[in-house]
Structure 1
Amino acid sequence: MSPDPVQKLPAPYDARWQALAARLTHYRRRLQSAAAAPARKRDEAGAYALRTLAATAQRLQAFAVKHLRFFNSGAASAHVPPGYSRDYALALALHQVGFDVEVLEQAAHQRLNPLDAADPAVLANADRLARHAVDAAKAAALLPADATALTYFQKSPVIRVIPYAPVALLGVPYSLRQVPRDSLSIPHDVGHAVYWNSPAVADGLPEALPAWLGGHPAGSWIEEVFADLFSARVAGPVAAYSLQDLLFRQGDDTFLTHDGDHPIPALRPFIYSHLYARNGQRRAARALSRAWRRRLKGRFGREAVVVALGLGARAAIDDLISAEAPPALAKPLDRLIDEVERVLGGVRAAPVWAGPFAEAGAQAEAGPAEAEYRELNKRVARVAEVPERAEVREAADPWSAWAERIAPEPGRRLTRAQWLALAQGRGWTPEYPGNWPTSGQ
């Protein structure tokens, strides 16, 4: 149906929306039927995933209806900033709906028509691992009680941040079946979902930064630092060693350079050692820091490495972050971590992630031995469900609460920043501006 029974979207957007709406309706009915079908004797984990995906699809459709109706209305048109248009907002919305339909179909297809008979069980286990990370956030009152998580196979780890359902949709690598420790990306990606779906975080945390830090390149790393610290708390030191392996493979052009969003790879592992040092885990902090410094010295012939911050600015890593020493709040990352920790201080380790073997492995500067990684594989290859698995329900209007967080009166008054935040889907656009249209058509 059209997003408004009276006023259709302008061509060609109405036809594009109707195609997406029809696909979402068919998708939801198919999954509801499959989840309830007794003939398949589908296991409860699989049925839960299908029910959750069906409810998420309904919420996406309801969200999109309100979103498109809003930007097709006179209220929104009256506040279009110079240089933009109604078409800009409609095109962005339809592209993002299409992105999310692709992910939802991928997650459903891999369960309904698996290429390998073992795939549904691997995904069900990854789902449970993700829900343990979600539960750590819920216990700290950072996510609502009905929050949950689902996974799907992807070429590399990724998080789909969505504002219309309390579901963390996580892409996990295809290697997970043979290498369960590759699930260590999950706590970090759940951290991104927490960042965007906890109002106290996404709305209040950036504003808490002092002005000098907001203007520093480190100020743009706040979301990634948040996700790193969440992972460090939930999964323990083993996650830090896994990250060291991942980062060290990069070439020097990216290893030493600010990319605009992520902490510079050469300094990023010190975020973990800094956290453990400030929280009293001195042995783990020392082992992690020394392990990374040894790698830096082996690569560059020295431990004191200088990184590029952009626009010709350069700085020594030790001037940006205290790796083990007490925090020095004049250092950008020390101050940033201090602000993030005010939010994350209540997050506790999830036992399925941060077991005793991981703590023991963190005492050796070489990191966990291969035998300990084999133990990790055993631990994460088959985990129990969280004590209370949340059921996601359909919702008539998931859009308004999201919109009112951005603009308290979206139908009456919009600043330029608010119009753009709504049009560009704050908290809904992890790939913006890549693959997004710059004009209406």
Structure 2
Amino acid sequence: MPAPAAFLATTDLRSRTLTAAELSAALPRAALDVEAAAVAVRPVVEDVAARGAAAVLDASERFDGIRPEHLRVPQAALDRALAELDPAIRSALEEAAARVRRVDSAQVRPEETVQVVPGGTVTQRWVPVRRVGLYVPGGRAVLPSSVVMNVVPAQIAGVEQIVLASPPQAEFGGLPHPTILAACALLGVTEVIAAGGAQGIALLAYGADDLGDGAGLAGVDLVTGPGNVYVAAAKRLVRGTVGIDAEAGPTEIAILADATADPAFVAADLISQAEHDPLAASVLVTDAPQLVDAVEAELAAQVQAAHHRERIEQALRGPQSGAVLVEDLAQGLAVVDAYGAEHLEILTADAAAVAARVTNAGAIFVGPHSPVSLGDYAAGSNHVLPTGGTSRFTGGLGVQTFLRGIHVIAYDRDALAGARRAATTLAAAEGLPAHGAAIDVRFAD
């Protein structure tokens, strides 16, 4: 009988010297990228911009199999969902929210004033975004934890108006899942919209004159939250009309491991992300070929027993997943930095020192007792993170996402006099004499 096919296709980089671009191209990647998805969803986004709620309802009927009576969730439905929420789930959500709140509260940056010269100061103020749209998925998994991850940092930042969108569910009469609604009610979110996918993102960005209940929805200033590749593509398309946090598409985990790693832990963590989505990426990077073999053996056993076996197998065997063999941990670090994973686990000897050398990752999980699943729920960190390599230039959701830095400049006459020569010289060098004149006129007497 032939041996069963391996779950993880192996890429051997041990004898190859590659540039950063070549290295990135050699790594496992999803066949469907955000740019390709943007082509598919552009008509939906443009339709919502033009027709508002009617276009959202048409798209919901097409993609979600339900046409909600109203896009706005009634307060009575929110109250009922919270009243009927399993007490154990309520307690877990309260604990998760408390942990995120503790971390975010400590990370609010204070107003800072720098005296540049006597009589001349620059103050950095942090001002919350006025109105934000938070997106919570509702596809293969119900994710009330994403309500926590979106809402709590916005509240800590002092956001004035919060709108939350989540897909309508046919099973619940066109409302989002009751657990999502309960989490909203628990955190005090009252403006909830039954709209998902690209149409939900577009509705948040553009607003609508009438949601079907006689009242409109004002567009937001910033859209945040995770979702599939089509949600990420829609966020790309509305960027500029609104701000976005990041293009958080299908989930990714990369594990940098050496021979000291427990293969059962590695396999379990790869599976944990693979169960999200057939497009989820699970990547093992290691300098220990024997670990790959041991992980394959663990996968064979653990996948067989998994609840979402078919979905997990698709993800693990997809082009976005695999094992990468490297010469040593130095090359392994180059690989994970080129990959820029949403979630990066470090399962090596002296894991903290290795983690300190990483430059590109959405979040880094250090050592055998810091699995990605902890960050998904109860670490106190945020699980809304950049995917698709975008961690090279952006970070995860947090309180700072919802704050804007504004410089406040206050100079008196003497301080301006001290800066006059430098400012007017540079204005003349740039061919902008009116700039210099605006300073000189203040000393014309």
Q: Which TM-score tier does this pair reach, normalised by the shorter chain?
A: under 0.3
Q: Greater strand share, 1 or 2?
A: 2
Superposition TM-score, scaled by structure 1 size: 0.24
Q: Greater helix share, 1 or 2?
A: 1
Structure 1 or 2, whichever has the larger Rg, is 2
